Amino acid sequence: MKRSRVVSLEPKMLREADRINVFLRDCEVMLSIGYRPHERQKPQAVIVGVEVEAALPHRYQDLGENSLDRVIDYSRLFHFITDDLPRMGHIALLETVAEQIVRFCFEDCRVHKVKVRLEKPEIYKGRARVGIEITRTRPAGITS
C-alpha cells in the first residue's frame, strides 16, 4: 500500500492569495442603539455577523498543534461584541457599531478584509428584519 506524503510549505512558497475566512454568525447582543427617541428608552437585540479574511501564512499539518497565536481567535471577537460593545453606551447608528467592529478586527495585522452584518429584528415586530452590511478592506501600507 502506497502512503501519501505530507508536504510542508514554507512561507516563501505561499501565494499572495492564501487566505482564511473566519466568521461569527447570528450573535445576538443587547445594545442601546437607534436614532429614534423610543429606541433610546431601552436596549434592543442586534444580530451580528462578522466575516474576517486574513492572510494564511501557516499550514496546519501538525495534528497536535493547539496554539492560538497562529490563528484568528474568534473568541476575542465574540467577547468584543458581547462584552465591550454594550459598555460603549448609546450609539445612534448601526453604521457606527459596524465601524467599531471593523476597527477591532483590524487590530490584528493579518486581517485583510472585514464584512459586518447587523440586523435589528424587533423594529417591525418580527414581520421583517432590517439592518446593514458593510465591507472594509485594509488600505495598502497600513499594518495595524
The model's pLDDT over 74-127, given as tens digits with 9 standing for 90+, comes to 999 999 999 999 999 999 999 999 999 999 999 998 899 999 999 999 988 889
- Its pTM stands at 0.81
Rounded to the nearest 10°, the torsion over CA 34, 37, 42, 47 is -20
Q: Count other Cβ atoms within 10 Å, centred on residue 6.
A: 8
Domains along the sequence of the chain with CATH: 18-55+72-137 (3.30.1130.10)
How does DSSP classify residue 13? Answer: G
The model's pLDDT over 40-70, given as tens digits with 9 standing for 90+, comes to 999 999 999 999 999 877 666 666 666 666 6
